[in-house]
Amino acid sequence: MGRFRTNRFNPWTNLQKTIGQKKTEAIDGDVQVFKSEHLVNIPNPYEKEKRLCILCKMNIVPDYKNTRMLSQFISRFTGRIYGRHITGLCRHKQDHVEKEIKKSREAGLMPFYFRNPEFSHDPKLFDPDNPFRPHHY
Amino acid sequence: MPSYELCLLFKVLPRPEITQCLKRTASKIFETGGFIRRIDNLGTADTPWKISSHDAIHKQASYFIVEFDVPSSALDPFNNYLSRDIDIIKRTIFKVPENIPQPACTLHEELKPPAYRSEVKEMIAIGKRKREKEARKKVQFNTGLDYMPFQR
Ligand SMILES: [Zn+2]
């Protein structure tokens, strides 16, 4: 049970407790009142933590002048913009990034068919072979 | 007056001549009744591709960003003026977007399995509506019989 935090309610132990509670009540009398301080109106203990995309987390607004940042979202070999399932951006940020890359190319700041070799060894934000959601092929 | 951003690529020229070029551009903006917010120098760099303009091929350019406000009617003549300036290799005018509030991140919803995603639910609803519509179009023989008495 390592994945549950200590301050969080552990569903298994309390489930055992309430089952025991219910049994004794049934023996005691005919009035069955299900009293439980737990298991009612609690947040889902299995809910995963909310994930944010890297641009939302860092609070970055993509801009066409920032070619170094935008270059991280295009292929080093073909210059194509990686899809949302690879970059792991939310819908809005992905659209924004694509728009800014197109603006930047139109202005002559960024190449169309490759990534600027200066930025070849920039840290990778994602792995195209290991996408956030599966490839469609 | 809306705000615009001008990305200017000048020929690689010595400093005094570049200043002259910028002055020319700036004075043209003031003539049209606009004003300049900011001028940024992005330095001299290799262009991403060979750019041919005014009968010459350029592989290097000095990059400048000019933020300015002009009446929108003056923008077309201004762009035309820039196109005739022989020291300018390339120029692009973008409108500066208004302060758009950034919507909250939806990545968490997008990474859910398809059946839990709202967009997939919407698609299913569209398909269901379409099938219902087609079913309504189909002729129904209200004979009260569970077989077909006449030849179809
Ligand atoms: Zn996001």
Whole-model pTM? 0.76
Of B49, B89, B107, the CB nearest to A53: B107
Looking at the DSSP assignment, which residues form a beta bridge with residue B40? Answer: B65
The pLDDT score that the predictor gives to residue A32 is 55
The pLDDT score that the predictor gives to residue A102 is 95
B8 closest CA partner among B89, B70, B71, B74: B89
Nearest CA in chain A to B95: A103
List the single best residue of A90, A126, A132 to mutate versus B (max B Cβ within 10 A). A90
The pLDDT score that the predictor gives to residue B141 is 79
Q: Tell me whether B42 touches chain A (CB under 8 Å).
A: yes
Low-confidence ranges of chain A (pLDDT < 70): 1-39
Q: Tell me whether B107 touches chain A (CB under 8 Å).
A: yes
Of A61, A103, A105, the CB nearest to B94: A103
The pLDDT score that the predictor gives to residue A15 is 52
Nearest CA in chain B to A102: B94
Number of other CB atoms surrounding residue A121 within 10 Å: 8
pLDDT in tens, chain B (152 residues): 789 999 999 999 999 999 999 999 999 999 998 999 999 999 999 999 999 999 999 999 999 999 999 999 999 999 999 999 999 999 999 999 888 888 999 999 999 999 999 999 999 999 999 999 999 998 887 888 888 777 76
The pLDDT score that the predictor gives to residue B138 is 87
The pLDDT score that the predictor gives to residue A13 is 55
In the numeric block, the tokens 């993509």 are attached to A62
The pLDDT score that the predictor gives to residue B102 is 86
Asked if B107 lies within 8 A of A65 by C-beta distance, the reply is no
